[in-house]
Amino acid sequence: MELDQLKNAWNKFSDKQASRHRLDETELRRMLKRRTNGLIDRIDRNVRIGFAVIVALVLFFLIDDFYLTPTFADGATVPAWIYLIDSINTIILVGTFGFFWNQYKEAKKHYSQSNDMRQVLSDSIQALMKFRRLFYGALSVFLLVIVISALAGFFGNPDVQLETIWAERNHAVLFTGLALLVAIVALIFLVFHWGFRRLYGRYIKQLKNTLAELDEIG
């Protein structure tokens, strides 16, 4: 008799523990869902900011090609290949962001249709990581175009006589110009690197942590 009572007591205790575990698991899922929704909302906001930055850059490139460069060229002919690489650079920047936006939109669409939190976390992480690789590739091309355009503008300037600079041993002028160009390129890289980490990079880790916690509860 005592054994039966002990079994009943243990079963009741086990049922209570199982019920409590289910409640804890349900509450944890709700918490993770709220966190996921919050992350998605912040990424949505930053996608809009990124779109505005891309539009601003494209407008700047157009103004530079059709107004600033002809104005400050002082009558010098700008090579057609400069405009060509500027156009390619613009296409790469727009294409990179457009690819990310399409990938991210598909992840959100799947989430809204199936409400699969694990899937949207995985898809969002993959989209952001692909975008990070493409972003730094596009940034490298952008900086390379700046360097090429600056060097072409310097050496293509009729007022700059490279032979005279070397003959007069005025190397400081040349090296100072190159150092200034390197400093400008480094500053642009740091600004874009900081901007990417601020807008998107830090969310990769948060999304990964949320996915890991979701995997722990099964």
- Residues with Cβ within 8 Å of 6's Cβ and at least 6 positions away in sequence, in order, are none
What pTM does this model have? Answer: 0.71
- Residue 145: half-sphere exposure toward Cβ, Cα within 13 Å: 20
Asked whether 89 and 142 are in contact (CB, 8 A), the reply is yes
Q: How far apart are CA 198 and CA 100, in angstroms?
A: 17
pLDDT at res. 25: 66
The total of structural domains in the chain comes to: 1
pLDDT at res. 218: 61
The CA–CA distances, whole Å, from 195 to 44, 89, 191 equal 15, 19, 6
pLDDT in tens, the chain (218 residues): 443 444 454 455 454 454 454 446 677 777 878 888 888 888 888 888 888 888 888 888 778 777 766 666 565 666 777 778 888 888 888 888 888 888 787 777 766 666 677 888 888 888 888 888 888 888 888 888 888 887 776 666 555 555 555 555 556 767 777 888 899 999 999 999 998 888 888 888 888 888 888 777 76
Q: How far apart are CA 144 and CA 150, in angstroms?
A: 10
Q: How far apart are CA 47 and CA 91, in angstroms?
A: 18
pLDDT at res. 189: 93
Q: How far apart are CA 166 and CA 174, in angstroms?
A: 9
Domain containing 115 equals 2-216
pLDDT at res. 165: 55
- For the purposes of burial, counting CB atoms within 10 Å of the CB of 36, is it exposed (0-12), middle (13-18) or buried (19 or more)? buried
Per DSSP, helices labelled H in the chain are 2-63, 69-72, 80-114, 117-155, 162-167, 171-196, 202-216
Residue 5 corresponds to which tokens in the numbers above? Answer: 């009572």
Asked whether 213 and 124 are in contact (CB, 8 A), the reply is no
Q: How far apart are CA 45 and CA 199, in angstroms?
A: 9
Please report the sign of the dihedral spanned by the C-alpha atoms of residue 64, residue 195, residue 203, residue 139: positive
Using DSSP's 3-state secondary structure scheme, residue 76 falls into coil
Amino acid making up residue 115: N
Residue 117 corresponds to which tokens in the numbers above? Answer: 């939190």
pLDDT at res. 3: 39
Taking Cα atoms as reference points, which of 193, 216, 197 lies closest to residue 205?
197
Asked whether 201 and 132 are in contact (CB, 8 A), the reply is yes
